[in-house]
Amino acid sequence: MKLAYFLPVLIASAAFAADIDTVRDRLVASMLPKSQPGQQQIDAQAKSDAASMNAAGTWDEIDYTDEQRSAWPAQRHLDRTLLMARAFRVSHDALFRDKALVAIDYWLAHDYHNPNWWHNEIGVPQLLGQTTLLLQSEMKPQQIDGVTRIMRRSVWTKWTGQNLVWGVTNQIMRGLIENDADAIKQAYDRLYDEVQITTKEGIQPDFSFHQHGDQFYSGGYGLAFAQDVSRYVSFSWGTAWQIPDEKMKIVLGYLLDGEQWMMRRDRFDYAAVGREITRKGKTAVPQNWTLGPISPVGASYALLNSVSLLADRQVPRRDELRAWTMRMAHDPSAKDLVGNKSFWCSDYMAHHRPGWFASVRMFSDRLLNSEIVNSEGLKSHHLADGMNLLYLNGNEYYDIFPVWDWTKIPGTTAEQGPLDIEGEKKPVGTKGKTSFVGGVSDGTHGVAAMDLARGKLAAHKAWFFFDNGYVCLGAGITDDSDRDVITSINQCNIDGIVKGERGWYHHANVGYVFRRDEDVKLTTDEQEGRWSDIGTGSNKLVKQRVFNLWIDHGPEPKDRKYEYAVLPSASAEQTKAYEAKPTMRVIQNSKNAQAAKDDSSGVIGVVFWSAGKVGEIEVDHPCVLLFDGKKVTVAHPEQQPIEINVTINGTKLHFAGVSGAGVSRALQTTPAPGS
């Protein structure tokens, strides 16, 4: 009788023990490169770290008293300890094990803290937990107890978004160390609770990501969220803690309908990374296997490895995950993503075509433009003022940021001179002043629009994304200050010869075409600056040649305009021919409406800043519209659901419940009664 009573408990315990082993083994394996080059990287660096370590278990070049809030020097002690633990599991060299154990003892004896809570409650527990999982069978009970005591500082019940994910994964690791199935279940349950669609911090309804309030952060905290959730979902697949089906749909939606749309191969769009734009070497797919899980992350923890782990399981949309990993790995047989997405929750648009990717980042009265935290993001004043980046090979802006002219961020219209914006007490970490900001997408083409208002500067800005390029329009540019105002066309790393004549320039397989009467200026000289000017990096002077192209509107502009076209993957000859006979034509460019047509596809895009008519298209409410000859797609950037009546060539269409997400209808649709 007693055996029958306890048998279910014994069976359950055995099942959990097997699941704990499975999750632990998968987690440990994820930290160890399978490739010989990766293993050689780890072995070589671990040997160097072991050789420079002193008898006390420390490194003389690390200043353990330096309390920098972002790049904390003392963290390097734990980074090296983790690396030697990984090297031991790769090579089984006892030297690495012995050195790592001495380093653990030193840290436990001193228990360093940082003024930034994140290191104490997230970073340190994370590094110690991973090191312990690799060395647990080699560690003394008092060492393990010391580690788990520190790990319990991750009191994740008070956190949301990516901070929550870091916290619960620390508890999962602690549960694996202590063979505590209840702790693991509690943490996984909370992790899956955070996998939700929300209008607060986390995954938004359009699959973008917000953190630190209403702030677009898909390539910063959101990238870490994608990496960590992917890894931990893959670890638990097929165990008692496997993610529920409805939550898995959200994870896959976030990865495949969100994150991958903001990338060109291995490069995450710098418009989506927030203050992390100030970090040297920022990339979503690092090649360095020696680095750990804390920024800058190593290859073991980065997006390519994380998505690959998920694609190794029998998960839905597996083929899409594998296709994405091929692109991130620069597989020559991989096909480029093609299409357009308007991320209406984040005032952001992504446009992909074979060979190139372009984006626009804006901000409205619904969003914060950026932030300055831990001395990062010091010059981020204009990052969301219509930032328009273009990627072909992915290296266009790589590590350009210390030498950037931050008043000429590509795509933006801005005052020149000091970065401080006259009339704005807090130019960074502020919400916009206007609500008509957003775009419309039919999945293939897109139009983005921004009612720009910064200090005394105002402008209506629009971007029209077609098959072979895009058109950029500005109207109503007015500024009451005495500062010069410009619109930046591009500011990128110099790559080859610059060609051009009046009306066009060509550089790095991209053509730029503008009106011949525009006051266009170009520099290709060296620009200089320091990483410490914008964040917490080196104060060493950096000099770099830059392709810097802009339109000068002069001081105190009144109702000025601009128009230019960008032709990715075009030759100089094709650019010159386009300038003589453009195939993307401007239909109208005024404060009331901005419109362009792509003759090759027949697609027309219109920004109706007020009710009115452009050609044969008429609307009774401000909106952004796309028409491909058969289908009409309408969005309302102000995000308030409204009804819009559209008339095209005499055919009336009634759109109900139009908001930022957009609504599409076929032109042949029978008109609604009374419309």
| pLDDT classification of 674: cutoffs 50, 70, 90 | very low
Measured CA to CA, the distance from residue 381 to residue 386 in angstroms comes to 12
CATH number at residue 106: 1.50.10.100
Residue at 497 is within a domain: yes
- What is the predicted pLDDT for the residue at 13? 56
CATH number at residue 424: 2.70.98.10
Q: What is the pLDDT of residues 618-659, one digit of tens each?
A: 999 999 999 999 999 999 999 999 999 999 999 999 999 999
Query: 159 with 289, same domain?
Result: yes
- What is the predicted pLDDT for the residue at 14? 67
Instruction: Report yes or no: 505 and 498 within 8 Å, Cβ to Cβ.
Output: yes
Residue at 656 is within a domain: no
Query: 498 with 571, same domain?
Result: yes
**Given 269, 302, 328, which residue is the final one in a domain?**
328
Residue at 631 is within a domain: no
Measured CA to CA, the distance from residue 317 to residue 39 in angstroms comes to 31
**Given 328, 357, 390, which residue is the final one in a domain?**
328
Query: 72 with 28, same domain?
Result: yes
Q: What is the pLDDT of residues 164-223, one digit of tens each?
A: 999 999 999 999 999 999 999 999 999 999 999 999 999 999 999 999 999 999 999 999
Residue at 649 is within a domain: no
Query: 323 with 350, same domain?
Result: no
Query: 457 with 578, same domain?
Result: yes
Q: What is the pLDDT of residues 465-523, one digit of tens each?
A: 999 999 999 999 999 999 999 999 999 999 999 999 999 999 999 999 999 999 999 99
Structural domain boundaries, residue 253: 14-328
Query: Which residues, in sequence order, are bridge partners of residue 500?
Result: 505
Q: Compute the average pLDDT of residues 449-461.
A: 98
Residue at 356 is within a domain: yes
Instruction: Show the DSSP H helices in 329-374 as ranges.
Output: none
Residue at 513 is within a domain: yes
Measured CA to CA, the distance from residue 280 to residue 503 in angstroms comes to 36
Query: 206 with 274, same domain?
Result: yes
Q: What is the mean pLDDT of the chain?
A: 95
Q: How many domains does the chain have?
A: 2
**Whether the model pTM is above 0.85:** yes
Query: 382 with 317, same domain?
Result: no
Residue at 542 is within a domain: yes
Q: Compute the average pLDDT of residues 557-585.
A: 98
- What is the predicted pLDDT for the residue at 2? 46
Query: 265 with 348, same domain?
Result: no
What is the sign of the dihedral through the CA atoms of 66, 67, 68 and 72?
positive
User: Which residues fall within 8 angstroms of residue 389, CB to CB, at 6 or more apart?
Assistant: 269, 270, 271, 358, 359, 396, 397, 410, 411
Query: 230 with 344, same domain?
Result: no
Query: 227 with 349, same domain?
Result: no
What is the sign of the dihedral through the CA atoms of 550, 576, 568 and 598?
positive
Query: 124 with 266, same domain?
Result: yes
Query: 208 with 105, same domain?
Result: yes
Query: Which residues, in sequence order, are bridge partners of residue 42?
Result: none
Residue at 646 is within a domain: no
Q: What is the pLDDT of residues 94-135, one digit of tens each?
A: 999 999 999 999 999 999 999 999 999 999 999 999 999 999
- What is the predicted pLDDT for the residue at 115? 96
**Given 303, 328, 353, which residue is the final one in a domain?**
328
List % helix, strand, coil for the chain (3-state, nearest 5): 35, 25, 40
Extract the tokens encoding 321: 């995950």
